[in-house]
Amino acid sequence: MKGLRSVGILSTGSYTPEKILTNADLEKMVDTSDEWIVSRTGIRERRIASDDQASSDLAYEAAVKALQKANISAEQLDMIIVATVTPDHSFPSTACILQDKLGASKAAALDVSAACTGFIYGITIATQFIANGLYRYVLVIGVEALSKITDYTDRNTCVLFGDGAGAALLGPVASDKGFKSFDLGADGSGGKLLSVAAGGSRNPATAETLEQKMHYLSMSGKEVFKFAVRVMNNATETVLSQAGYEKNDIDLLVPHQANQRIIDSAVKRFGLSEDKVVVNLDRYGNMSSASIPVALDEAVNEGRVKDGDKLVLVGFGGGLTWGAAVLVWGTEEYVE
């Protein structure tokens, strides 16, 4: 659109806690096995936040790395967007807590709750502010401390989730670089398929909700799986079409890291080779909104992302929500 800036990712950063929870560890906790977990999910281990670590602590570590890479100070930030379903508190927002930790005194701050799609929602929102010239630098962080809401006696969910944070600093880039298309969607009729039932205004915390374990995450695995396969493929096709690209144009697919079988479905659908897909769920499990930015940061650090590469970022999750974006990689800031 004429008059709008092109917006891209200037830098990335990520952080995962030190504690590792392996499949062997889970075998001692619930009735499961390494073979069962790997064959059905592809996950071998996940990272777990310490008792004194909240989401803002994980987000801070990732944010600092992203800012340092771009040589941008926290005082230069115009906005901070934190995507999370495990905020430090109901309010103030985790973004406000992070703003204070960073010393980003002039930055607006807000949280986005779109579960595993949260990072895609966050970068879509950030792009609008930068494109229209209102802001220059927006820091988007996907962060989760899912271990805090996981029932480790439920073998169907406890094997899936891990903790971590990924950050991306967005800013203006040259017109041939940056984000070329976005696709966001939601189907609230499926909200109960992946949710935490208590803790909000519908079911405030009581002795009864605690006894019934309503503050833990619950999921209808088969239904969520079918939804994920469908929307991941559809959203990818949509953003490619909007950007004027074909599936053969994809240089790197960075999908939400939920299940290896879901990723394999997309790989087959789009005819991608292994080197064109980022997969790290074997080491981290499902980190919800943190999974895409952590995977992207690792790919960047490993030299898998080159200037001019066409990337597809795609996620799906609770809400139910989905989102995808096409990005032409280029981290050189555009100066008017």
List the catalytic residues. Answer: 116, 256, 286
Residue type, 43: I
**How many other β-carbons are positioned within 10 Å of the β-carbon of residue 222?**
9
Sheet holding 310-317, edge to edge: 178-186, 321-328, 310-317, 252-255
The single residue listed with the structure tokens 């630098």 is 137
Q: Per the structure block, which two tokens stand in for 247? A: 């599936």
Residue type, 185: G
Give the count of alpha carbons within 13 A of 287, CB side only: 35
Of 246, 227, 233, nearest in space to 188 by CA: 227
C-alpha 204/C-alpha 200 separation (Å) is: 5
- Rg, Å, the chain Cα set: 19
User: Do the beta carbons of residue 252 and residue 304 sit within 8 Å?
Assistant: yes
C-alpha 289/C-alpha 258 separation (Å) is: 11
User: Do the beta carbons of residue 287 and residue 257 sit within 8 Å?
Assistant: yes
**3-class secondary structure, 166:** strand
C-alpha 68/C-alpha 74 separation (Å) is: 10
C-alpha 224/C-alpha 174 separation (Å) is: 39
